[in-house]
Amino acid sequence: MTLKDLHIDKSWTLFLDRDGVINKKLENDYVKHSTEFEFLDGALNALRILDGIFGTIVIVTNQQSIGKKIILPEDLELIHRNMMYEITFMKGRIDKIYHSPYLAAENHPTRKPGIGMALQAKQDFPHIDFEKSLIVGDSLSDMEFGRNAGMKTVYISPETKADERIDFNFRSLIYFAHSLTQ
């Protein structure tokens, strides 16, 4: 199966992980301030392209830095406000951002691979159909989230990974976006 076989149009929803997909992931650390947030190469252009393809685009991100008391919820809000400003300025679109502040050990249903953030998105956007949704992420937890919700999964990594939870592999968000326009 290829992405073309899915016949993606404006009735589809795109779920995006944040760290490692949109912005550079900090090794053994968290993005704690807007000055530490750095878009990955091509991510802003990818979001502009994806805006023309998907009807709804949301971010779903685990942010246990809040649960660890490394940052405050207001810090995350500021990081996201600045990120959204840049995305909008570059003609991209994110309809809403969902985050789970809980620690991995808490096993909270909103924390990926749980589907709580997907259910929140469906409550906010009732037209969302998980069978017509993709999750793009850089971890197997993201892929499990997609599988648990009934979505197709797109794994972002410089290395192709073979795993039954992964439907499609791409080097980056921009490679994924370009594949939808060819």
CATH number of the domain to which 103 belongs: 3.40.50.1000
SS3 for 95? coil
Q: What confidence category does residue 104 fall into, taking pLDDT thresholds of 50, 70 and 90?
A: very high
* One-character DSSP codes across 43-78: HHHHHHHHHTT-SEEEEEEE-HHHHTTSS-HHHHHH
Active site residues: 17, 19
Q: State the average pLDDT over residues 90-117.
A: 97
Q: State the average pLDDT over residues 87-93.
A: 98
pLDDT of 182 > 90? The answer is: no
pLDDT of 153 > 90? The answer is: yes
Do the bridges between strand 168-170 and strand 152-156 make them parallel or antiparallel, or are there none, so unpaired? Answer: parallel
Residue 61 is predicted with a pLDDT of 98
Query: 37-49: per-residue pLDDT in tens?
Result: 999 999 999 999 9
According to DSSP, residue 24 is labeled P
pLDDT of 21 > 90? The answer is: yes
Residue 145 is predicted with a pLDDT of 98
Domain range for 124 is 3-179
pTM: 0.97
According to DSSP, residue 25 is labeled P
Average pLDDT over the chain reads 97
Distance CA 15, CA 57 (A): 6
pLDDT of 55 > 90? The answer is: yes
Residue 8 is predicted with a pLDDT of 97
Q: State the average pLDDT over residues 8-27.
A: 97
Q: What confidence category does residue 1 fall into, taking pLDDT thresholds of 50, 70 and 90?
A: confident
User: In the chain, how many domains are there?
Assistant: 1
Instruction: For CA atoms 7, 13, 17, 23, give the dihedral sign.
Output: positive
Distance CA 43, CA 163 (A): 25
